[in-house]
Amino acid sequence: MYAELISQKSTLNGERFESINYADDKMLIAETPQKLQMMVNALNITSLKYGTKINCNKTKVMKIERKKDNRPLKIKIEGTQLEQVEWYKYLGHIVTEDGRDDPEIKVRIAMARSAFNNMERVLRARDLHMESRLRILNCYV
């Protein structure tokens, strides 16, 4: 979901946006490295103003683009360069630098398979009526 949003030049339903916020998680979105650096600087200044500090070890940067560009992003917080990643997980969703959902789909299929396999004992239980087992199976299907 977020990969799609970001790859559409930071618009959602025609509205432009520069960040996605949830509790203490924040995703900054910029069209240029210079704009991103300015946003990171502003966030850092605001954080320090309120007595908090951005954890540079947990903060990552990523380029989301269709064509692979090997030029690294050089975004810094107080002289510390942030790590550039090819993917990360934001609010449980995998965001990739190419904006594709393939890794997310594979993870969700694996989770569904695991949940289904965990029900094998129940589905094979002879002391449970066949009708009940079929209803459980239909819920999964």
What is the C-alpha separation between 73 and 49, in angstroms, rounded? 26
For the chain, give every domain's residue range. Answer: 2-100, 101-141
Residue 63 · residue 97 · CB < 8 Å: yes
* pTM to 2 decimal places: 0.65
- Sign of the torsion angle spanned by Cα atoms 20, 21, 27, 28: positive
Phi then psi dihedrals of residue 89, to 5 deg: -105, 120
**Tens-digit pLDDT string for the chain (141 aa):** 333 333 334 566 677 777 777 777 888 888 889 999 999 999 999 999 999 999 999 999 998 877 777 788 999 999 999 999 988 887 888 888 887 778 888 888 888 888 888 888 888 888 888 888 888 888 876
Q: Give the 3-state secondary structure of residue 87.
A: strand
